[in-house]
Structure 1
Amino acid sequence: MNNLAVRAITAIIGVAIIISGIVFSSWTFALVMLTIALLTLREFYGLARKGGTKPYEVWGLVFSIALFGLLFLNYQDQLENDTFWMLPALFSTVFLYPLIRHGQGHAINCLALSILGIFYITLPFCLSIPIAFVSGEFQYELILGVLFAQWANDTGAYFAGKAFGKTKLFEKVSPKKTWEGSVGGLLLAVGVSLTFCYFFGTMSYLEWTGLAIVISLFGSLGDLVESAFKRALAIKDSGSTIPGHGGFLDRFDGLILALPFATTYIHFVI
């Protein structure tokens, strides 16, 4: 079976699981997004280890679960706001790790990359929650629209780049990405977003188009950011968890940067 067939089969199975989880209930939505966030964070810490640094992975995963869980429960109206005050203390425990793991790597680098993982990966995935609850109660349409626009951007960029790609986008970071591929990704993302508007509404056609442009632009930049990390470490894929796609960080790198800007856009528009 060739690589394209493996990619397609894996994508279909993965997308089906994600869609089912998001649509079924708010709790399964949270479980899906948190699981992706944790697996992606683990791969980021794995990249750091390959670069010679030993981030505090247990702390990062525990803090991510606490942050995501508290935010979700707050939006579910099942949590008092005062409970959030446990987060500063939990966050500060990372500074105790150099004492526990004294002599196991450069403490400043370990701390920096441990915290960077939270800001780079966990926080963006947490922003999927205010998107899903933007109307005050859980609705899956918008978060699905964001995901589909990002997937469409990736798919359109891949095939348009294969067919028409000539002009390099950012050759020093990612030699295979082209302007033609980016345009193809944008057009497909807009088309998918307009389809969502037709079936679900939620926003106007113009607003859905704007969302697609935001996701396409910053999703493509997110892909380049991760490429820069891997290039610095001379690594092709962040992992091999997803057959034909590399790792979770490879698959969701665009979404990581797209989510903060999509969240801002949606909350200004709605």
Structure 2
Amino acid sequence: MDISLHQKRVATAVGLAAIPALALVFQGWVLFVVLALFCTFTLWEFYDMFSPLPGVGTVKSLGAVFTFLLLGAYAADAPQHMLMIFVAAFWAAAILFLVRFTRDATASFKPGMVLLAGLVYIPLNLHFFLSFSRHEILLVIGAAAISDTAAFYSGTLWGKKKIWPKVSPKKSWVGSLGGLTACMLATTGFGMAFGLGAPWQWLLLGAALNVAAQMGDFFESALKRSLHIKDSSSILPGHGGLLDRIDSLLLVVPTYGLIRTVHAFF
């Protein structure tokens, strides 16, 4: 293991922890602003992955506007308006395509599709944070972080047989099982200390969140490989980009949001 790279990863992870910590302390409008800005920057990173993307500047601007509108509608307790805003986003993408098509008959709808995919992938998946309690925010962030960290160390130390080499050549079965075990234990411990329910319910929740974390990681890995890029950006030393850091969280958050409609854990 490259020690200098490892130190960069640890320092970056500690620095990033300040973002959810700030939101947890203040919540309310501070949480909304922090989440909206974080989603916007991550969304821009996602759009840049598809470069050269025609009209990427316009796509980024529209992405930022619709991110704030989508999250704002949910924060204002008007979730029904989110569908209307997403329909408006589609028609904004359609008009962008029409304008480009009148100028160039070879223009495609790809920028519009990328715009809409990014809105679903990032702000729509993370909007659940606005309805989570402090304990729930800690739970989902902790589940994603522990899954990634345990998988990284156990896989680095003992992993040999790869789990899905075509998608992610470095990830091993040992790393996957290590992340699963750590997430289940951590979730159960957290639940017994602060939540409601029997240990077996927390164990199942931990397993579900870990599977979601791994699938989120695999999806972003496959996306990057299809686009022939190594990292979503180089903004975070030792980690790549914001999207590289939260790829697992992007599926953990909606997974927990769905599960809690079946059983109240807090």
TM-score by length of 1: 0.87
Indicate if the aligned counterparts of 2:36 and 2:71 stay in contact, CA closer than 8 A: yes
Q: Distance in 2 between matches of 1:173 and 1:40?
A: 22
Q: Distance in 2 between matches of 1:211 and 1:104?
A: 51
Q: 1:180 to 1:83 in 2, by over 3 A?
A: closer
**Residue in 1 that maps onto 2:135:** 141
Q: Counterpart of 1:49 in 2: which secondary structure? A: coil
Q: Deviations over 1:108-163 (max 9, x none)?
A: 11111111111222210112234x1xxxxxx2101210110110000000001001
TM-score by length of 2: 0.88
Q: Distance in 2 between matches of 1:104 and 1:22?
A: 50
Residue 257 of structure 1, CA deviation: 1.9
The within-5 A match list for 1:170-185 is 170-185=164-179
**Residue in 1 that maps onto 2:96:** 97
The within-5 A match list for 1:1-270 is 2-50=4-52, 52=53, 54-55=55-56, 56-74=59-77, 87=85, 88-101=87-100, 102-103=103-104, 106-130=107-131, 132=132, 139-270=133-264
Matching residue's letter, 2:4:
N
Residue 91 of structure 1, CA deviation: 4.3
Q: 1:229 to 1:159 in 2, by over 3 A?
A: same
Residue 241 of structure 1, CA deviation: 1.4
Residue 219 of structure 1, CA deviation: 1.0
Indicate if the aligned counterparts of 1:22 and 1:32 stay in contact, CA closer than 8 A: no
Residue 211 of structure 1, CA deviation: 2.0
Q: Distance in 1 between matches of 2:136 and 2:17?
A: 16
Q: Distance in 2 between matches of 1:104 and 1:35?
A: 36
Query: Pairwise CA RMSD of aligned residues?
Result: 2.2
Q: Tell which deviates more after alignment, 52-61 or 143-152.
A: 52-61
Indicate if the aligned counterparts of 2:89 and 2:116 stay in contact, CA closer than 8 A: no
Indicate if the aligned counterparts of 1:207 and 1:269 stay in contact, CA closer than 8 A: no
Q: Counterpart of 1:174 in 2: which secondary structure? A: coil
Q: Distance in 1 between matches of 2:92 and 2:14?
A: 40
**Residue in 2 that maps onto 1:135:** none
Q: Deviations over 1:31-57 (max 9, x none)?
A: 23222221211111000114x555522
Q: Tell which deviates more after alignment, 163-172 or 97-106.
A: 97-106
- When the two structures are aligned, how many residues end up with a matched partner? 257
5+ long unaligned stretches in structure 1: 133-138
Q: Distance in 1 between matches of 2:54 and 2:207?
A: 36
Q: Distance in 1 between matches of 2:104 and 2:25?
A: 47
Matching residue's letter, 1:217:
V
Q: Distance in 2 between matches of 1:30 and 1:4?
A: 32
Q: Counterpart of 1:48 in 2: which secondary structure? A: coil
Residue 255 of structure 1, CA deviation: 1.1
The percentage of aligned residue pairs carrying the same residue is 32
Indicate if the aligned counterparts of 1:219 and 1:254 stay in contact, CA closer than 8 A: yes
Q: Distance in 2 between matches of 1:264 and 1:225?
A: 20
5+ long unaligned stretches in structure 2: none
Q: Tell which deviates more after alignment, 83-92 or 214-223.
A: 83-92
Q: Distance in 1 between matches of 2:248 and 2:171?
A: 13
Matching residue's letter, 1:61:
A
Q: 1:9 to 1:104 in 2, by over 3 A?
A: farther
Q: Counterpart of 2:171 in 1: which secondary structure? A: strand
Q: Distance in 2 between matches of 1:31 and 1:53?
A: 29
